[in-house]
Amino acid sequence: MPPRATTIVDPSFPAELRRLREERGLSLRQLAAAVSYGKSLVHQIEAGQTKPTVDVAVRLDAALEAHGALATMVVDAPDGGSRLAYMRAQPRKVDLAAVDALCGLLAGYRRLEDAIGSGPIMGPVRVHLDTVASLLRDAPHDVRPRIVDVAGQWAQFAGWLSIARGEERAATVWNARALRWAMEVGNTDLVATVLSFQGHQAELRHDLSAMIELSRESRRDEAVNTALRAYCAGQEARGLAMAGAPGADVLARLSEASDLSAQSAEEPLSPWGYWYTPSFFSVQQGSVWRYLGAADSRANDRAVELLTAGVAGVSEEAGGAEWHGRNLVHLAIAQAQAGDAAAARETLAAADAIVLATASRELARQVTEAVHHLRLSAMP
C-alpha cells in the first residue's frame, strides 16, 4: 500500500494569498467563483484555518496570475512531512521516514514542474537542496547512504531545471554533484540518468561528439533500467543524425531505441523516469527522423507522423511544460520541411505561448532559432 499523502504548506501561504487577492482587487466571493470553490473555503485558507491542497493552490495561483508564487508553496508528500522541519533542527536524529518524506516532496516538485515550468520552483528546490546537503554532514552512519541517494536525486533535478532555464554553469555544477553522490551509493540508474542529461547539455551547446559519447556511455551498463537505455539510445541516434553520420549508423541506434522502448513497457519506471511513456518515445524518435528528413522527404513524413502522435499524447497537466515546448519546435521544423508553413507557424505559436507562460530563456532561444532557420513570417 502506498504511503498516505500529506500536504506540506509554506507558513506564509495565507498572507501571500491575501496580499495577491487584494492587489488584484478581488473579493473573497469573486476569487472563490474564479476557482469554482466556496467562499468559506477560500476564507478559511486565507485565515490559516485550513490547508490548501495542491489542486486548490494551483487554481488560486492561476486565478491570481501569480506565476507559481502560490503553487510552489504547497506540495504533496508521504505522511511524515512534519518530520522535515524536525530533521533540519536535529540532523543526528534523522530517520528513514524523514528521508521518505524528502522523496515525496521531490516527487511533488517534479509533477509541479510539468504543470507550471521550471522558473517558479527553482528557488524552493535550491533551498531544499541546501537542507539535504546539510544533513549529509551530520547524518548517522546507518542512514547516510539513503540520504546520499536522495541528495543525488535532488541534485539531478536541480541540474535538469538549470538546463531548462539555460543556466549552463549551474547545470554543470548540479549534474557533477548528482553524479558524485550517485556513484557513492552505486545507484546505476541515477548515474546513467545524469550522464544522459550531460549529453543533453552537450547537445544544447552543439558539442555533438560529447553528446554522442555521453549518450553511449550512459547506456553501456545493461543492468540500467530499459526505458532509460531506450532514451539514451534515442539521444545518441539524434546526435549522430545532427552530426551527419552515415544513415546506417543512425538507423541502427534508432532501431535499438525502438526495441528497448518496446521492452520497457514490462518494467517499472524509476521516480525520475516516469515520463518515459510511448508518447515520449514517439517524440524522441520523431526528432531523429526530422534531422534525416532535411534531405529525405520520406524520412520527414515519418518524422511528422511520429511527432504529431507524440505531441497529441502528452498529458493535460504537462501541456504547458518547457520540454513539451521543445517537442513542438521539432514538430514545427518537420512541418516546414514538408512544405506546410501554415502548420509550422501554428505549432511554433503554441511553443511561444509556453515561453510566455514559463519565461524560459532556453525555449525562447529555440523558438527564435527555428523561426529564423525556417524563414517563417510572423507567427499567428
Residue 86 in this model has a pLDDT that exceeds 50: no
Query: Residues 31-44: what's their mean pLDDT?
Result: 89
Percent of the chain with pLDDT over 90: 53
Predicted local confidence at residue 296, as pLDDT: 95
Please say if the pLDDT value at position 113 is more than 60.
Answer: yes
3-state helix/strand/coil string of 271-340: HHHCCCCHHHHHHHHHHHHHHHCCCCHHHHHHHHHHHHHHHHCCCHHHCCCHHHHHHHHHHHHHHHHCCC
User: Is a pLDDT exceeding 90 seen at residue 351?
Assistant: yes
CA atoms within 13 A on the CB side of 304: 20
Reported as a single tens digit per residue, the pLDDT across 188-213 is 999 999 999 999 999 989 999 999 99
- Amino acid in the structure at residue 361: R
C-beta of residue 169 within 8 angstroms of C-beta of residue 192? no
pLDDT at 325: 93
pLDDT (0 to 100) of residue 259:
95
pLDDT at 127: 81
- Which H/E stretch holds residue 78? strand 74-78
CA distances from 183 to 117, 138, 180, 193, 236 (A): 29, 20, 5, 12, 23
Query: What does DSSP assign to residue 224?
Result: S
- Per residue, the 3-state secondary structure of 37-49, as one string, reads CCHHHHHHHHCCC
Name the residue among 108, 112, 111, 128 with its Cα closest to residue 120: 112
Residue 362, pLDDT above cutoff 80:
yes
What are the C-alpha distances in Å from 72 to residues 56, 189, 311? 12, 28, 26
In the block, residue with C-alpha cell 545507484: 187
Confidence of residue 8 (pLDDT cuts 50, 70, 90): low
What confidence tens digit (pLDDT) does each residue in 163-193 have? Answer: 988 888 999 999 999 999 999 999 999 999 9
- Give 376 or 162, the one with higher predicted confidence: 162
CA torsion sign for 199, 203, 206, 212 is positive
pLDDT at 4 over 70: no
Confidence of residue 377 (pLDDT cuts 50, 70, 90): low
Over residues 113-121, the mean pLDDT reads: 81
Q: How far apart are CA 242 and CA 90, in angstroms?
A: 51
For the segment 126-161, what is each residue's pLDDT rounded down to a tens digit? 888 887 887 777 777 888 898 899 999 999 999 999
| Residue 81 pLDDT | 46
Helical residues (DSSP H) of 13-143, grouped into ranges: 13-23, 28-35, 39-46, 54-63, 83-89, 96-116, 119-138
| Residue 99 pLDDT > 50 | yes
By the 10 Å C-beta count (0-12 exposed, 13-18 middle, 19+ buried), 164 is classed as buried
**Is pLDDT above 80 for 291?**
yes
Q: With a threshold of 0.85, does the pTM exceed it?
A: no
Judge contact between 184 and 148, C-beta under 8 A.
yes
Give the dihedral of Cα atoms 215, 219, 220, 222; nearest 10 deg: 180
- Of the CA atoms within 13 Å of residue 34, those in its CB half-sphere come to 18
The more confident residue out of 264 and 99 is 264
The three cell numbers of residue 67 are 506565476
The proportion of the chain whose per-residue pLDDT surpasses 70, expressed as a percent, equals: 89
Residue 80 has a pLDDT of 43
**136, 91 in Cβ contact below 8 A?**
no
Confidence of residue 107 (pLDDT cuts 50, 70, 90): confident
